[in-house]
Amino acid sequence: EAEVAQSPRYKITEKSQAVAFWCDPISGHATLYWYRQILGQGPELLVQFQDESVVDDSQLPKDRFSAERLKGVDSTLKIQPAELGDSAMYLCASSLGGKPGLAYEQFFGPGTRLTVL
């Protein structure tokens, strides 16, 4: 069964360092999402891609976070510099997407647990 892949699974870094997360969505899925989940809370959308284009990054802290999906397939989320408050689970999800007004099931990867010291 096809799955969303994420790496690394765990990342420990010191504040002010740069970190990067990678996501490979399910083949054929046009829409890719990056979420941040703080312990005990629901996931919060950071950025949504439709193919290679950003369709929503309203909650992305753009002074330190960046995301790209250059060929419309896999994606990278970067934080530079990392702050203590960035400690969280970073989840990637993908869905078929493409048709405005239709909702699609999202398939989630296992996540990357980030700890900033």
Partner 1 sequence: SQQGEEDPQALSIQEGENATMNCSYKTSINNLQWYRQNSGRGLVHLILIRSNEREKHSGRLRVTLDTSKKSSSLLITASRAADTASYFCATDAYSSASKIIFGSGTRLSIRP
Contacts to partner 1 by CB under 8 A = 4, 31, 40-45, 48, 50, 55-56, 89, 91, 93, 95, 97, 100-111, 113
Pairing between strand 10-13 and 112-116? parallel
Q: Which is nearer to partner 1, 51 or 81 (CB)?
A: 51
Minimum distance from residue 72 beta carbon to partner 1 (Å) = 16
Q: Which amino acid is at 65?
A: F
Give how far the C-alpha of residue 114 lies from the chain's centroid of Cα atoms, to the nearest Å.
12
Minimum distance from residue 91 beta carbon to partner 1 (Å) = 6
Helices and strands, counts by H and E, the chain:
0, 11
Residue 21: C-alpha distances to residues 79, 104, 109 (Å):
9, 24, 12
Q: Which amino acid is at 74?
A: D
Minimum distance from residue 55 beta carbon to partner 1 (Å) = 8
Minimum distance from residue 97 beta carbon to partner 1 (Å) = 6
Q: Which is nearer to partner 1, 70 or 102 (CB)?
A: 102
Q: Which is nearer to partner 1, 5 or 81 (CB)?
A: 5
Q: Which is nearer to partner 1, 19 or 32 (CB)?
A: 32
Distance between CA atoms of 44 and 84, rounded to whole angstroms?
A: 18
